[in-house]
């Protein structure tokens, strides 16, 4: 395939990904903002690990769309301010598979679809939906797991206020080797606190979807 044709296809794929992200923003602005921040945090960790640029591009796309399956969750469950019932949790957990089904239809994006499918798996195999563990999970999926928890804990939710960065770091360290890859946790904990504070401010100040030409940490290119 000629280079110009491949470049056209990649641009088309990026437009599709941004269209999906826009659909999620229409569903819920806070979930869309969460996805932006998880992308920023994931890319920062990946850079600290020294991952190559091509892997970081895939990681960023997967983090950017990790909660895309939420657009298929009924609002009565998605927006419920109180505790979910076991049946409602079962429906909520379907967002991983629903997101995978959406993303796998995009040409050349198999790795992204797999990251969307895997972002609630745990390092010890006790996560969902497939119970993958250790090296069965890509490095990118293991990074997103840390970044996802970091943002979830330090952001306001319907059922609780935001917790401190210190509390999030303590929780991630406590679950090292169980929920999280200990190697990634060590790198995350070695990074200065100011990184996460600055990234949150920078990411929240940008429009959604982010401009893929901007060269910022959340770019999906």
Domains and CATH numbers, the chain: 14-204 (1.10.3210.10)
- Those residues whose C-beta lies under 8 Å from the C-beta of residue 193, and which sit 6 or more positions away, are 165
Query: What backbone torsions phi and psi does residue 180 show, to the nearest 5 degrees?
Result: -120, 150
Contact 174, 163 (CB under 8 A): no
pLDDT at 13: 62
- Other C-beta atoms closer than 10 Å to the C-beta of 1 total 6
For the residues 164-192, what does the mean pLDDT come to? 98
Half-sphere CA count of 9, side-chain side, radius 13 A: 10
Note the pLDDT tens digit of each residue in 65-122.
Answer: 999 999 999 999 999 888 899 999 999 999 999 999 999 988 778 899 999 999 999 9
Note the pLDDT tens digit of each residue in 6-34. 344 455 467 777 888 888 988 999 999 99
Phi-psi region of 50 (alpha: psi -120 to 50; beta: other; left: phi over 0): left
Structure tokens at 11: 């641009």
- Say what the pLDDT of residue 210 is: 45
Residue pLDDT, tens place only, 37-51? 999 999 999 999 999
- pTM of the full predicted structure? 0.87
Q: What is the pLDDT of residue 207?
A: 62
Task: Report how far residue 77's alpha carbon sits from residue 83's, in angstroms, rounded to the nearest whole number.
Answer: 10
For residues 29 and 177, the model is more confident at: 177
Cβ–Cβ < 8 Å for 46, 218: no
4 pLDDT higher than 80: no
């Amino acid at each position: 395939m000629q280079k110009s044709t491949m470049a056209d296809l990649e641009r088309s794929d990026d437009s599709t990904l941004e269209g999906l992200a826009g659909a999620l923003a229409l569903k819920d602005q806070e979930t869309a903002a969460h996805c932006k921040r998880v992308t920023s945090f994931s890319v920062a960790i990946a850079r600290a690990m020294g991952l190559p640029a091509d892997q970081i591009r895939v990681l960023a796309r997967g983090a950017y769309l990790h909660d895309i399956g939420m657009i298929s969750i009924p609002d009565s469950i998605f927006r419920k301010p109180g505790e979910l019932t076991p049946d409602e949790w079962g429906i909520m957990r379907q967002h991983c598979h629903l997101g995978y089904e959406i993303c796998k239809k995009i040409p050349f994006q198999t790795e992204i679809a797999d990251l969307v499918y895997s972002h609630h798996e745990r390092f010890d195999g006790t996560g969902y939906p497939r119970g993958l563990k250790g090296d069965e999970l890509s490095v990118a999926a293991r990074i997103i797991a840390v970044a996802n928890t970091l943002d979830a804990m330090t952001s306001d939710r319907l059922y609780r206020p935001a917790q401190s960065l210190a509390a999030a770091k303590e929780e991630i360290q406590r679950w090292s080797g169980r929920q999280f890859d200990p190697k990634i946790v060590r790198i995350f904990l070695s990074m200065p606190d100011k990184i996460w504070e600055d990234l949150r401010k920078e990411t929240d100040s940008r429009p959604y979807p982010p401009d893929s030409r901007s060269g910022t940490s959340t770019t999906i290119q």
